[in-house]
Structure 1
Amino acid sequence: MNKLQSKTAALVFNLLNKGHERSIKIKKNILESILIKGGSVLVSLVMVPLTIDYINPSRYGIWLTISSVVAWVSFFDIGLTQGLRNKFAQAKAAGDDDRAQVYVSTAYALLGLIFCVVWLLFLVVSPFLNWSTILGITANMRAEVSTLAVIVFTYFCIQFVLKIITTILIADQSPSKAALIDFLGQVLSLVFIVVLIRMADSSLILLGIALCLSPLVILLGANFFLFAGKYQKYRPKISKVNFSYSKDLLNLGLFFFVIQIAFIIQYQTANFIIAQNFNTEDVVSYNIVFKYFGVLEMVSIIFVAPFWSASTEAFMKGDIPWIKSSIKHYNTLNILLALTSIIMLLLSSKVYELWLGKGIVDINFQLSLWGFLFFNVSIFSGKYVEFLNGISALRLQFFASLISPFVYIISALVLIKYFHVGVHAVFIAAIVANFNGFILAPLQYFQIIERNKRGIWAK
C-alpha cells in the first residue's frame, strides 16, 4: 500500500511539475482551486437549506432579490479593478514593481473615494425608497427591508475596496488564493447562520448582518496579512497615489465597465424580473437551479481563471503555440462538463429533494432544462472571453455589451408577457443575450490566433 501511495504521489508531482513554467503555475492553481472550490460548494449547499429554515422560502427570496438589486452598486467600480488586473500583470511581467505599486495605491484611493460618495448618497436617498413596492411585498415589511437594504449596500461599498487584494492575487496568476479568501468568508457566514438558528428568532436584519460582516472580516484580515508579507512591495501608500496613472486604469477600465454593466443587468436583474412577474418563492426556485448547475461553471472557472493573466504574459511574449494548446485542453474540458451536466439534469429532481427536503421548493423540469443549457453555453464561451480579456482585445465585446442588456430584458419580458413562458424565460433570454460569448468571441480568437489578424479583432 505504501508503495502504491509513493508511486501515486510521484506521478502527481511529475504531472504538476512537467511542462512550461506558465503551465506548471496554472496546474498548481487548478489543484488548489479544486480543493477550495469543492469546499465552497459544500458550504453553499449546506447554507441554502439552513437559511431557508431560519427565515422561510418567501423571506429568503426577499434576501436574494434585495441583494441582487443592491449589487448594482458595482456599476460605480467603473471597471477599475479589471483595468488594474491587466495593468498590474503587465507591470509585473516587465519587472516594474514601482509602477505596479502606483497602480495598486491609485486603485485603492479611487475606489475608496468613489464608494464613499456613493454610500453617502444612498443614505440620503434610502428613506424615500419604497421597498415594499420595489420588491412586491407587504407594506408592513417596509421598515425591516429598508434597514436590510442599508446593511447590504454598506457591505457592497466596503467589500469593493477591500477586494482589490483578490484582484492582485488573480493578476499574479494565483486565483486559488483569491478563492481561499472567498471560501473563508463563506465558512464564517455558515458559522454565523448556525449561531443564529440556535440563539435568535427569525430576522432578515440579523441574517443580513451575519452574511455581510463575515466576508468583510476575512477581506480585512487578508489585506493586512498579504500587504505585510508577500505583497509588501506593492502595499498601497498615500505617497504612491498618482491620479495621472488613473487614466491608464480608466481607459482600459471603461471597456470593462460597460461589459460589467451588461453582466450585472443580465444576471442580477433576473431575481427582480421574477419577483415582479411571478413571486419571491419563484426567485428561490430559479436560484436553486442556478446554484445547482452553477457548480459546473465553478469547476470550469477553476480551470479557466488562470488563463486570463497567463494569456497576458503569453501574448506579450509571442507564445502563440502555448495559447493554442491551452484552448485545445479547454475544449476537452467542455466536452467532459457537458456529459456531466446531462447526468445532473436527469438526476435533478432527486437531488433537489435530497438537498432541500421533499416539497420545500417546487422546481419543474423545464426550469432545470434551460438552466442546464444556459450554463453549457456559458462554459463554452468562457475560455475565449478570458483570453480576449487577458490581451485587452475588448472593443467587439464592448459594442456587444451595449446591446446585450436590452436584448436580455426585452427577450425576457416578451417571453413572459406575450408568450406566457414561465420562470425559465430568464434563462432563455440570457442565452440569446450572450451572443458575444458563443459567436463573436470564438470568431475573434480565430482571427487573432489562427489567422494572425489585428485591427478591430485585437483592439
Structure 2
Amino acid sequence: MPENVAVDRTHNYLRQIKGSVLYKGVSVVASFLTIPIMISYLGIAQFGVWSTLLTIMSWVVFFDLGVGNGLRNKVAESLAKDLPGEARNYISSAYSLIAFIALALWLLFAILSYVVSWQSIFNTSLIAEKELRSAVQIAITFMLVNFWVGLITALLGAVQKSALVSLGQLFTNVFALIVVYLLSVSGEGSIIKLSWVYGSALLGGNVFLSVLFYRRYKYLMPVFRLCRDHVTPLLSVGVQFFIIQLAVLVVFTTDKILITQLFGPEHVAEYEVVFKLFSIITFVHALVSSPLWSAYTDAYHRKDTLWIVRMLRMQLKLYCGVVAGLLVLACLAPFIISIWIGRDFSVSFSLVALVALFVAVTTWNSIFAVMLNGAGAVRVQLYTAVAAMIANIPLALLLVKFFGMGVGGVVLAATLSLIFSAVLLPLQVFRLLGREAKQV
C-alpha cells in the first residue's frame, strides 16, 4: 500500500470538510431563516401539514431499492481498482434502472392520489381536499424527477467530492429562502405555491451538481443501457441498503405522522422547531463523517486497515465534543428558540432533553455505520435496523397511550429502538478490522 495514496486520501478528506463547512454553513443559516418565514406565511397548523408533507416526499428516495448506495460503493471500488470503464457501466445501469422505477412510481401515484383522502392523512380540515391533493401531486412529481437526477449525490460521494453535495444543498436552501420570503410579502399562505418552490429548488440543486460533475468526469458520462452483469451487483448490495433505508424510514420519518395522528398537526411545529435546532449538531457531525464513506471504501479495498483505524480513533475523540455541544445546546434551547421563532412560541424542556438524547445516539451509531457502509459489511446493520423498525411504533404507542408522555414519548421510542445498533455496530467494526481494531 503506497504511503502517498493514504496521504492523498487524508488530504482530500480534509479538503472536503473545509468545503463542506463553508457550503453547509451558509445552507444551514438559510434553512434556519426559512423556518420562521414559513410559519408566518402558512400559520402553525398549515406549517405542520407542510412539514409532514416533506416527510412523505422524503419517502420517495427509499424506493430506489438501495441502488444509490450500491452505486456509490461499486463506483468507488471500480475507481480504486483503476477500472473507469466498469464504473461507467455501473453508472449507466443505475440511471436506466432508476428511470424505470421513477416512471412506474409516478403512474401508480397518479392513480392513487385520487383514491386517498389527504385530509384524513394530514388530520386537518383547514385545507381543502382539492388543494391538498394538488400540493401533494406537485411535490411528489418533483421528487420523482429528482429521484433520478439525485443519483449525482452518490457519484460525488464515490469520487470523494462530498463537499459539492453541500454546495447543492446551499443552492437549494438559498433559492427556497429567497422565494419563500417573496411569497410571504406578496400574498396569503398557499401550500401549492410552496410545493412549486421547494420542488424547483431541490431539482435545481441536483441539476447544477450534475453539470459540474460531468464536465469534470466526462469519461463517466452514462448512456441509456441496462446491463444485467452490472444491475445484479448493484441490487445485491443495494437490497441490503434498501432494507436498512426502509427501517430508517420508519424510525426517523414516521414521528411526524404519529404526532399528527395522535395529537394534531399543530403539535408537529414544536417537534419540528426543536429538531431543526438540534440539526446543528447533526450537520456538524455529518460534515466530518460523510466524506469518510467512500474514503473507507477506497482504504478497505486497498487493505489499508491502519488508515481506517486512525480515522475511527479521530471520530471517537470528536464524539466527546458532540456530547458537550448537545448539553450546552439543550440548556440554551428555550432562549435560542424565543429569539429565533418568537417569545410566544414555547417548547417543553422534556422534549428538548429527549431530542438531545436521540441525536447523541444517532451520531454514535453513524460513526460505525459509515465505516461498515464503506466496506459493504452491512449485515449486522441490516438486522439491527429491522429490529428498530419493528420496535419503534409499538414503543411510541406504549409510551404515549399508557405512560402519557406526549410528544416526547414518540422521540424516546425512536431513541430506544436504536439501542440495538448502538451496541452491535461497534462490535461488528472491531470484528471486521481484527487485530488492528485494538488501537481504536
> Could you tell me the TM-score, scaled by structure 2's length?
0.95
Does 1:412 pair with 2:399? Answer: no
Give how far 1:452 is off: 7.1
Give how far 1:140 is off: 5.5
> SS in structure 2 opposite 1:421?
coil
Q: Which amino acid aligns with 2:176?
A: S
* Deviations, residues 370-419 of structure 1 (Å, cap 9, x unaligned): 01111011111111000000001111111222221111111111111111
Q: Give the structure 2 partner of residue 198 of structure 1.
A: 185
Q: Which amino acid aligns with 1:248?
A: P
How far apart are the structure 2 equivalents of 1:52 and 1:101? 45
How far apart are the structure 2 equivalents of 1:253 and 1:161? 16
How far apart are the structure 2 equivalents of 1:261 and 1:123? 23
Q: Does the 8 Å CA contact 1:397/1:436 hold for their aligned counterparts?
A: no
Give how far 1:71 is off: 2.7
Q: In the TM superposition, what are the counterparts of 1:52-451 in structure 2 within 5 Å?
A: 52-138=39-125, 141-227=128-214, 229-238=215-224, 240-359=225-344, 361-451=345-435
How far apart are the structure 1 equivalents of 2:45 and 2:23? 31
Q: Does the 8 Å CA contact 1:384/1:437 hold for their aligned counterparts?
A: no
Q: Does the 8 Å CA contact 2:295/2:374 hold for their aligned counterparts?
A: yes
Give how far 1:135 is off: 1.5
Q: Give the structure 2 partner of residue 20 of structure 1.
A: 7
Q: Does the 8 Å CA contact 2:97/2:226 hold for their aligned counterparts?
A: no
Give how far 1:200 is off: 3.0
Q: Which amino acid aligns with 1:264?
A: L
How far apart are the structure 2 equivalents of 1:401 and 1:343? 30
How far apart are the structure 1 equivalents of 2:356 and 2:246? 24
Structure 1 residues 131-140 or 314-323, which shifts more? Answer: 131-140
Give how far 1:318 is off: 1.6
Structure-2 change in CA distance of 1:139 and 1:368 (3 Å): closer
Q: CA RMSD in A?
A: 1.7
How far apart are the structure 2 equivalents of 1:298 and 1:422? 27
> Could you tell me the TM-score, scaled by structure 1's length?
0.92
Give how far 1:127 is off: 0.7
How far apart are the structure 1 equivalents of 2:131 and 2:13? 46
Structure 1 residues 197-206 or 437-446, which shifts more? Answer: 197-206
Q: Does the 8 Å CA contact 2:260/2:268 hold for their aligned counterparts?
A: yes
Give how far 1:82 is off: 0.4
How far apart are the structure 2 equivalents of 1:335 and 1:140? 45
Identity %: 28
Q: Give the structure 2 partner of residue 7 of structure 1.
A: none
Give how far 1:241 is off: 3.9
Give how far 1:451 is off: 4.0
Give how far 1:273 is off: 0.1
Give how far 1:72 is off: 2.3
Does 1:46 pair with 2:33? Answer: yes
Q: Give the structure 2 partner of residue 457 of structure 1.
A: none
> SS in structure 1 opposite 2:216?
coil
* Deviations, residues 19-71 of structure 1 (Å, cap 9, x unaligned): 82111111111111111111111011100001111111110000111221243
Q: Does the 8 Å CA contact 2:60/2:147 hold for their aligned counterparts?
A: no
> SS in structure 1 opposite 2:189?
coil
Q: Which amino acid aligns with 2:334?
A: S
Give how far 1:190 is off: 1.0
Q: Which amino acid aligns with 1:445?
A: V
> SS in structure 1 opposite 2:185?
helix
How far apart are the structure 2 equivalents of 1:373 and 1:401? 18
How far apart are the structure 2 equivalents of 1:294 and 1:215? 19
Q: Does the 8 Å CA contact 1:382/1:437 hold for their aligned counterparts?
A: no
> SS in structure 1 opposite 2:403?
coil
Aligned structure 1 segments of 4 or more residues deviating by more than 3 angstroms: 450-453
How far apart are the structure 2 equivalents of 1:140 and 1:204? 9
Give how far 1:139 is off: 7.1
Give how far 1:352 is off: 0.4
* Deviations, residues 335-368 of structure 1 (Å, cap 9, x unaligned): 0121121111111100000000111x32100000
How far apart are the structure 1 equivalents of 2:202 and 2:132? 21
How far apart are the structure 2 equivalents of 1:379 and 1:225? 31
How far apart are the structure 2 equivalents of 1:116 and 1:422? 40
Structure-2 change in CA distance of 1:18 and 1:350 (3 Å): farther
Structure-2 change in CA distance of 1:437 and 1:37 (3 Å): farther
How far apart are the structure 2 equivalents of 1:180 and 1:20? 25
How many positions carry a matched residue from both structures? Answer: 434
Unaligned runs of 5+ in 2: none
> SS in structure 2 opposite 1:424?
helix
Structure 1 residues 399-408 or 388-397, which shifts more? Answer: 399-408
Q: Does the 8 Å CA contact 1:29/1:174 hold for their aligned counterparts?
A: yes
Q: Does the 8 Å CA contact 2:156/2:213 hold for their aligned counterparts?
A: no
* Deviations, residues 227-281 of structure 1 (Å, cap 9, x unaligned): 2x1121111112x542331001000000000000001111111100000001212
Q: Which amino acid aligns with 1:374?
A: F
Q: Does the 8 Å CA contact 1:32/1:176 hold for their aligned counterparts?
A: yes
Give how far 1:294 is off: 1.3
> SS in structure 1 opposite 2:404?
coil
How far apart are the structure 2 equivalents of 1:106 and 1:322? 32
* Deviations, residues 211-232 of structure 1 (Å, cap 9, x unaligned): 11112123223323422x1121
Q: Does the 8 Å CA contact 1:159/1:219 hold for their aligned counterparts?
A: yes
Give how far 1:191 is off: 1.4
How far apart are the structure 1 equivalents of 2:127 and 2:278? 35
